[in-house]
């Protein structure tokens, strides 16, 4: 009996996305190590936590592929890009990467829609929502950086930003939870 409930295309797409999530984790890990080297402990901590989150996303996909009776293909993970030049550049690069990841997720959503694979379509909705939160979270940080002077942030601005990140929650509020009273 064939227990595989994923088409070849969907299985390949999910395996690719699994590696994309591992790649995202390596990027956060690499940038976190860079930040720690420069003494930005709050930023490093934040990025290390996100490295772990991306790894959890990878595991979600591994588990889903297995649950649907298909094969998981573990391949090499592409190296993270060059280390950032400064804090502003670090979060710009993270935002760019998150947007690229969103595009990859949308491809899988489209693929599952075309194939009428509703289980995968439904599974991918969690990732769509997660990306909205992650993009919002990084955009919020970029706004703070911009207010503090962007590329021109001085030592004091950087100190405050780093301290601030120590306390920043890992999730942006979801639009669905927002009300007029509690925007
Ligand atoms: Fe950037 O979160 Fe994974 O998918």
Which residue minimizes the CA distance to atom 1 of ligand 1?
A: 98
Does 97 sit in the ligand 1 pocket, CB within 6 Å? no
Which residue minimizes the CA distance to atom 3 of ligand 1?
A: 54
Count of alpha carbons within 13 angstroms of residue 46, beta-carbon side: 24
Report the 10 Å Cβ neighbour count for 21. 23
* Domain-embedded: residue 180: no
* Domain-embedded: residue 72: yes
Does 17 sit in the ligand 1 pocket, CB within 6 Å? no
Count of alpha carbons within 13 angstroms of residue 41, beta-carbon side: 3
* Domain-embedded: residue 125: yes
Domain coverage including residue 78: 8-172
* Domain-embedded: residue 178: no
pLDDT at 125: 98
Give the total number of structural domains in the chain. Answer: 1
What is the pLDDT tens value at each position of the chain, 183 positions in all?
889 999 999 999 999 999 999 999 999 999 999 999 999 999 999 999 999 999 999 999 999 999 999 999 999 999 999 999 999 999 999 999 999 999 999 999 999 999 999 999 999 999 999 999 999 999 999 999 999 988 888 999 899 899 988 876 666 556 566 566 665
CATH no. for residue 165? 1.20.1260.10
pLDDT at 2: 86
Site to probe by mutation for ligand 1, drawn from 13, 57, 107, 128 as the one with most ligand atoms within 8 Å of Cβ, is 57
pLDDT at 167: 72
Contact status, residue 47 vs residue 80, Cβ threshold 8 Å: no
pLDDT at 152: 86
Residue written as tokens 């194939």? Answer: 115
* Domain-embedded: residue 77: yes
Report the 10 Å Cβ neighbour count for 53. 18
Angle, nearest 10°, between helix axes 41-67 and 118-147?
170
pLDDT at 166: 81
> What is the per-residue pLDDT across 46-77, written as a single tens digit (0 to 9) for each?
999 999 999 999 999 999 999 999 999 999 99
* Domain-embedded: residue 2: no
* Domain-embedded: residue 78: yes
Does 112 sit in the ligand 1 pocket, CB within 6 Å? no
pLDDT at 181: 67
* Domain-embedded: residue 18: yes
Give the C-alpha distances (Å, rounded to integers) separating 151 from 28, 43, 53, 148: 20, 16, 28, 9
């Amino acid at each position: 009996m064939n227990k595989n409930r994923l088409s070849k295309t969907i299985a390949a797409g999910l395996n690719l996305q699994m590696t994309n999530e591992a790649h995202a984790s390596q990027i956060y890990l690499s940038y976190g190590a860079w930040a720690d080297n420069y003494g930005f402990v709050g930023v490093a901590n934040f990025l290390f936590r996100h490295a772990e989150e991306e790894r959890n996303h990878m595991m979600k996909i591994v588990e889903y592929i297995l649950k649907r009776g298909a094969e998981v293909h573990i391949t090499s993970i592409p190296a993270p890009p060059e280390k950032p030049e400064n804090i502003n550049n670090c979060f710009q690069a993270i935002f760019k990467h998150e947007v690229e990841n969103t595009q990859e997720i949308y491809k899988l959503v489209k693929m599952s829609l075309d194939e009428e694979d509703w289980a995968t379509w439904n599974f991918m909705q969690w990732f769509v929502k997660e990306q909205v939160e992650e993009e919002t979270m990084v955009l919020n940080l970029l706004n703070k950086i911009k207010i503090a002077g962007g590329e021109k942030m001085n030592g004091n601005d950087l100190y405050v930003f780093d301290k601030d990140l120590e306390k920043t929650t890992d999730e942006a509020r979801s639009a669905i939870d927002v009300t007029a009273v509690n925007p």
